[in-house]
Chains A and B, each alone.
Chain A
């Protein structure tokens, strides 16, 4: 395996002519920088992806084992304990009837948003830099939604009766109350989970077929089953492209609706601070903000730890996502300011009290930390092309943004609940076992992702190959320019 360093091939073509030399330097520079201009033979690229899936070091198993223990203890054992004892083991009280579980739900749904954003929106707009990491992002959507589901079920007082939320036929003719935002939520999240899973699966089929042809043993059976007999004929590709196109367009409004409806859980309530008409778009942008941060963290880890990934995921990708993060950070700041400004200007006494409590109350540090993490740090770092092309720097910024967005949800849910129109009941909320369960969902997310990274090709090889076929370098006068042909 030659790896990704195929510069030797190009170096041979060196010439004595100074002009030609500069041209070759140009070309080499382009190749080094852009995956799309640095093609490898098809078989070699397939082998590289297969190798990244099947090479597993002891470190992987050590982390995987540790995560399994955390999931078993923090998620399943603690949850069982909480079910048998009641929600009294959490830190909820009157008036903070909702606590960390709903914070986690909103957080995980937010994480799940970037997957679709990157994959569907960038696919629809034909952003070429998306090609190597659409899959990594889509996986985040599905696994993030699984954690959101866990978190929202933990939140129920009698979780064993969760099916009463479903419209199933029963003798008493009892149906869910479709006036309740929680019912809309259930429908929206279920729709999103199903459609995003299908949207993850469709572009996966050609890669599964590739993996089937290149593997033996149980993997062969596994990929054979999942690839649904895909052979790569013209007709199959046409059908697949049509299906992907439909899903890419259709899932975008679904994505927007999901977080808007999650925001309505708050916006539709009769509470100061929650009853805001801008919560829908504000939440969607917030979701993208934390989600992009999470995507970039995943990419940095994948690039750093998995074999052959430095060929596929390059600084140019961090640069491109870094720009998006900067824009989304600005959009978030705009919505935050808009929400805050109008609520404050409105002058309702309870809202004013709440805003004051946000900034100057005992949780005031959260409010300032949120603004620093969500606005100040991304703006200070991501404007610089060199910094935003450095994986570890973008990783740290992504981590800080996620911390800030977590605080934002924490301020919206339990901090805002601490204050209401009945001053006699004002009381602070301190999380207890919720913290362990939150760690459990995080560990389960990483666990699922690690398992998936060994089972399905994390890089959509066909999508990369297609892009590389479409790109070529052309001479325009003295300049070397990139030209992209329309394939789809």
Chain B
């Protein structure tokens, strides 16, 4: 049983797992979006709902441009997913403790079973990366055959979001534990990073200074989105470097 004094709303500055995204080499091919949907059993909401702003992708490629046609200047594509904030604004506002901070992985977890769908977390997320199950979306045969058995299938009325592929983290940890060692850097990665043909996404331990992701993150010209809000995000972006 967890004692009250052990429950913390947010963690200190350094997270555990983190990501580096190089916007300069991102081609905007959406392979990460597709891979994430396959890995995490994300519903296909259909054209109408998607057009109305109800797509449920846990990662999205944001495209921006400057100027009016034909003098349009594209800016680099911006993959956006849950930033796994160290001090997440989504966590304190959930009245049911469905949005919580995991002590072991230092990630923001969504407990689907506990979610009652107030959607306060989604309103309070400055990155707008949470998706809500507006309906029970259909999944015609044979699509159910490609469900990932490691990931819960969500029903209507609950919130969901990127987990940094926590099922892969657990699998790697279990394997390492059975072999009596630590998880090695680069031993596994998230679905989006695995699928990226340009290797624009790097995933790993940010609390390990030797890991690739830490070394990239400390290269100097990385930025964290909306850092000024004090959310302590764990995803670093590179642009124009």
A residues engaging B (CB < 8 A)?
85-88, 92-98, 155-159, 161-162, 164-165, 173-177, 179-183, 186, 265, 268-271, 417, 420-425, 427
Contacts and interface: CB of A to CB of B under 8 A. Distances in A.
Contacts of A85: 135, 156
A186 to B, nearest CB: 7
Given A164-B96, A174-B114, A270 B89 contact: yes
Contacts, number: 139
A179 B128 contact: no
B53 interface: yes
B157 A87 contact: yes
Contact of B117 (A87, A94, A271, A424): A87
B92 A177 contact: yes
Contact of A161 (B1, B116, B122, B226): B116
Interface of B: 1-2, 9, 49, 52-55, 60, 62-64, 78, 80, 89, 92-97, 114-120, 122-124, 126-128, 131-136, 156-159, 226, 229
Contacts of A98: 119, 123
Contacts of B156: 85-88, 157-158
Contact of B157 (A86, A176, A182, A427): A86
Contacts of A427: 52-53
The majority secondary structure among interface residues of chain A is loop
Contact of A182 (B2, B54, B95, B136): B95
Contacts of B116: 156-159, 161-162, 164-165
A88 B134 contact: yes
A165 B95 contact: yes
Contact of B53 (A94, A162, A173, A265): A94
Interface of B is mostly: loop
B19 to A, nearest CB: 18
22 contacts: A86-B134, A86-B157, A88-B135, A92-B134, A94-B53, A94-B55, A94-B131, A97-B122, A97-B123, A156-B116, A157-B115, A157-B117, A158-B115, A173-B2, A177-B96, A182-B120, A269-B123, A269-B124, A270-B126, A271-B124, A417-B123, A423-B64
Contacts of A424: 60, 62-64, 78, 80
Nearest to A184: B95
A269 B78 CA distance: 25
A177 B97 contact: yes
Contacts of B93: 179-182, 268-269
A162 B157 CA distance: 12
Contact of B92 (A97, A180, A422): A180
Contacts of A425: 53, 128
B54 A88 contact: yes
A366 to B, nearest CB: 20
**The 3 A-B residue pairs with the shortest CB-CB distance in the complex, in nearest-first order:** A157-B117, A157-B157, A86-B156
A184 to B, nearest CB: 9
Contacts of A271: 123-124, 126
